[in-house]
Amino acid sequence: LPETFLSFLEANGLDPSIYIPRYVRLKPGVGEIEYEINCKLEKVNWLPGFYSIPPDVQIARSMAYQQGKMYGIDAASGAAVSALGISPGDHVLDLCAAPGAKLCMMLDLLGEKGTATGVDVARHRLAACRTMLRKYGLGQRSRLFLADGTTFSVPPITFKEWTSRRPYKERKQEAKAKPEIIFYGQSSGVIGLKKKELGYDKVLVDAECTHDGSIKHIQKFEQWGWTTLERRVLDAERTDRNLTALQLNLLRNGFRLLKQGGTLVYSTCSLTLAQNEDVVDQFLDENSSAELQEIETAKDWPCTSGRTPKTVRFDPSTSATSGLFVAKIRKL
């Protein structure tokens, strides 16, 4: 790693000597697949459906992967989804959805009831998300929107209800202000809700961040160039001003779209205080209807408490996962 990044870690009190294995999640109902990938899967005891695999094993060419029996997702990211407490019948929003592994897990947890809406600002990443949904047979109860997560405002209503009940000219004008629909499953809307009942039961805001907790992400800069790392991760002005403002606005909008009594999870794979506790603390200070919740399942996780009570952190040096901060918030 370059000296500038090592200095960044040191300035934030982070240990650079960490090792992170790779994780996969098996689709519900999938049986024995070790022979298909030619390696032993180590069960993650604290997170159902997750397994670790050796970092040198190539799964992309295996039949199990090509047939959609498993997908790669870090165990810490799986914990953030698990913290939502998704139940069949919920209507779930993933406000920063691409490339789609967490959205796939949400849909696995929903089963045959409920819907999942994914939003992302990057077209090419959202296209990858659509490909994942199709590959794993999860498109029926999902929809994807190309939109800014800080301003996205489409509630979980039916596509028919949204587009077809007013004159064409009026609908055409309205469409210009609407986010672009990238994918819309046949059963991904909610029928029969009154306006006051509209809102998502669960919202995940896995916000854009510097990704300094993910060594896998940092290693990509070997191809992208270390000067790009300095601009995108180490630039203090971008991190302290622009990026944290974006994170706070994503959190605000996700909470606005949340139904009363619903649950929101805010997470980042940064290990810095500025992008995590500081953002959550500021949000809580300005929202009297937001209540930080204990993450009950975290008692079994290899995580530590965050600076803000009831928040948790996955530290790569002790959790054997990517770094991740998780906060669970209820709308009173």
Residues labelled as active-site residues: 269
Q: Which residues contact 179 (CB under 8 A, 6 or more apart)?
A: 119, 145, 146, 147, 148, 152, 154
**Whole-number Cα distances in Å, 234 to 7, 208, 246, 249, 315:** 9, 15, 17, 21, 20
What's the token pair of residue 102?
A: 């967490």
Q: What is the dihedral of CA 311, 315, 320, 324, to 10 degrees?
A: 50
Helix spans in 85-191 (H): 101-110, 123-135, 159-163, 168-177
Which H/E stretch holds residue 305?
strand 304-305
57 burial via Cβ count (<10 Å: 0-12, 13-18, 19+) = middle
Q: Rounded to an integer, what distance in angstroms lies between the CA atom of residue 238 and that of residue 133? A: 33
22 burial via Cβ count (<10 Å: 0-12, 13-18, 19+) = middle
What's the token pair of residue 329?
A: 């918030």
- Are 51 and 44 within 8 A, CB to CB? yes
State the helix-helix crossing angle for 101-110 and 75-83, rounded to 10 degrees.
50
- Are 80 and 206 within 8 A, CB to CB? yes
What's the token pair of residue 295?
A: 């993450």
Binding residue positions for S-adenosyl-L-methionine: 120, 148, 206
Binding residue positions: 120, 148, 206
